[in-house]
Chain A
């Protein structure tokens, strides 16, 4: 069986600076795969390339066996790939309900959209309570919930989450990670980018450690969690 997402020797550059220097990994259906690493390792660049916001310099991306190269960003979500971007990027002057509706922009099934909106409110009750409020008035953690809820509104086959815990309080971070675990239990396929290696690896079936544009170490979540070099470099142990 082929993987849902296959990335092969992917290279991405900003001008002459290569940010991703030939990485390969796969995401199988129903799995949670995480990319961890420090700032500037190329994790966000990788996700932005997968969703078509950046064009690769070389290599191949296949989603359900079909090549993604050259597909414009606005057509990628229709294939089943949703991206919750780093820094949340909710639409601040639209309401929460409108933000969620935009997540379902390409869908035509009004009943399905209504049902999924309700699902998002069940997952994050605070969003339901404030549905007619401008999204910009939400706290950082609430905005993160909205960004995740919005990404789920397209009923993606693969959910890509970029730094969902960034800048959140420890309690809020725990809440977000719990939600990701819930989504995993429901069978959602997730590609998770995180700087919080501990949290990400505890959740993930598979992990890849990125350093300056390359994957330097791969393994199952628990393997990496117990790897000495990972513990030293990313979990702050001596």
Chain B
């Protein structure tokens, strides 16, 4: 049990990352009932946006100074792609069969990956991302936090708090809730629902960009494929927490992250399961958790029953 605190913190940071990306899935789904499978690539492009800014800055710029600009660059790139996807790929299909935007999303996901692969300089292999120098921070003798993760552990709660206040307190946030609950009636109130939908894509994109910067700082690299598995995990987190619920997305992320960290560490200690532990099997345990939760609570941890939506 000596390593339990460390394992939990590892899980928490991973979960915060999943949660930030999951917000994008859950907001878009909550409003237009679309799983935006290109969201993983919107995350990936945020990473490349941040990297581009870093490379533009004079070499030797301290990372702590560059970081705010990198975040802005990542957000601009992700939000631009997310809103363009909404405007040109999804909006023309709105009101059509539900399968059409879903297939479009998968196509867009592949197209964005390949576009980065083909056109970003040297992106055919991983590009290195700046990292904070120095050793990890020692909290206790058995608990260390990587310097890159500190950013994540600050950014994720701040983003969530800001989003929670925005949705519950602001006029636009209330319009967003109204649109999610009943789009036609929202229009009758004078709400421009098209603009609300763009806003949902933009917020999701911005959060994904923050996650991408955190991901870059944590792993020291970005690549054109990084959106696939991260997106899949975040989507799992969104469903686990109850898709459509922003707090559910964060909770689902944290639960998933901690479950993964525990599985990596402890599954191999269970007699007879020595082969099933460690990093190789972590995705299996993540998706197993999803299946188990959905068997017991099909609406997810914080999800509302679908009947309430009618």
- Using a CB–CB cutoff of 8 Å, the interface residues on chain A facing chain B are 51-53, 72-75, 77-78, 82-83, 85, 89, 91-94, 98, 101-103, 105-106, 136, 150, 154
Within 8 A of A (CB), among B160-207: 171, 174-175, 177-178, 181-182, 184-193
Select from chain A the residue with minimum beta-carbon distance to B308.
A92
CB within 8 Å: A-B pair count = 64
Chain B residues near A102: list those with CB within 8 A. 174-175, 178, 186, 189, 191
CB-CB under 8 A from A89, the residues of chain B are 182, 184-185
A-B contact pairs, 19 of them (CB 8 A): A52-B187, A74-B187, A74-B189, A74-B192, A82-B188, A85-B188, A89-B185, A91-B185, A92-B181, A94-B174, A94-B178, A102-B174, A102-B186, A105-B171, A105-B189, A105-B191, A106-B190, A136-B308, A154-B190
CA distance A52 to B182 in the complex (A): 16
Specify which chain B residues have a CB less than 8 angstroms from the CB of A77 in the assembled complex: 188-190
CA distance A98 to B190 in the complex (A): 15
Q: How far is the CB of B304 from chain A (nearest CB, A)?
A: 7
* Chain A CB within 10 Å, residue with most, of B171, B190, B193: B190
4 closest Cβ contacts across the A-B interface? A73-B187, A106-B190, A89-B185, A77-B190
| CB-CB under 8 A for A53 and B182, given A91-B177, A102-B174 | no
A91 touching B184, Cβ below 8 Å = no
Q: How far is the CB of A181 from chain B (nearest CB, A)?
A: 24
Return chain A residues, CB-CB under 8 Å to B193.
74
A103 CB, nearest partner CB in chain B, Å? 6
Docked complex Cα distance between A119 and B174 (Å) = 22
Q: Which residue of A lies closest to B304 (CB)?
A: A93
In Å, the complex CA distance between A85 and B177 comes to 19
Task: Check A93 against B308 for contact (C-beta < 8 Å).
Answer: yes
A101 adjacent to B174 (CB under 8 Å) = yes
B188→A83 contact, CB < 8 A: yes
Bound Cα distance A105, B188 (Å):
10
On whether the beta carbons of B187 and A53 are closer than 8 Å, the reply is: yes
How distant is B69 from chain A, measured CB to nearest CB, in Å? 37
B136-180 residues with Cβ-Cβ distance < 8 A to A are: 171, 174-175, 177-178
Write the chain A residue with the least CB distance to B187. Answer: A73
Q: Which of A53, A103, A105 contacts B175 (CB 8 A)?
A: A105
Contacts A53-B184, A77-B190 known; list 10 others, CB within 8 Å: A73-B187, A74-B187, A74-B191, A75-B190, A91-B178, A93-B181, A98-B174, A102-B186, A106-B190, A136-B308
